[in-house]
Amino acid sequence: MKFFRQISFILLFLISVQSDLYPVPDSYVYEKAIKSIGLLTDKNGSVASAFFINNNIIVTNWHVSESLHLSSAKVTMKSGSVFKVKRIILEDKLSDLSVLEVSGSNENYLTFADNNTISKGDNVYSIGNPTNSSYEVSKFKMTKGKIKFIREEDWFYDDGSDHLAYTIQHTATIKPGNSGGPLLDENGNVVGVNTFFYSYTRNYAVHIDELMSLLEKEHITYSSLDSDGSVDTRYAKKVSEKIEKDRWDYNNLGLIILLIVVFYAGTMIIIAIGISTFVSFSRRSNNNSSDRWSQY
Which residues 6+ apart lie within 8 Å of 228 measured at CB? none
Residue 15: enclosing H or E segment and its boundaries? helix 2-21
Dihedral angle sign, alpha carbons of residues 153, 157, 163, 169: negative
Q: For residue 112, with 0-12 CB atoms within 10 Å meaning exposed, 13-18 middle and 19 or more buried, which class applies?
A: buried
* 232 assigned to active site: no
Choose the catalytic residue: 63, 163, 170, 207: 63
Cβ-contact 84, 73 below 8 angstroms: yes
Choose the catalytic residue: 96, 163, 170, 185: 96
Question: Please, how many CA atoms are within 13 Å of residue 114, restricted to the half-sphere of its CB?
Answer: 11
Choose the catalytic residue: 36, 65, 95, 179: 179
* 224 assigned to active site: no
Which residues 6+ apart lie within 8 Å of 229 measured at CB? 114
Cβ-contact 226, 132 below 8 angstroms: no
* 179 assigned to active site: yes
Catalytically active residues, by annotation: 63, 96, 179
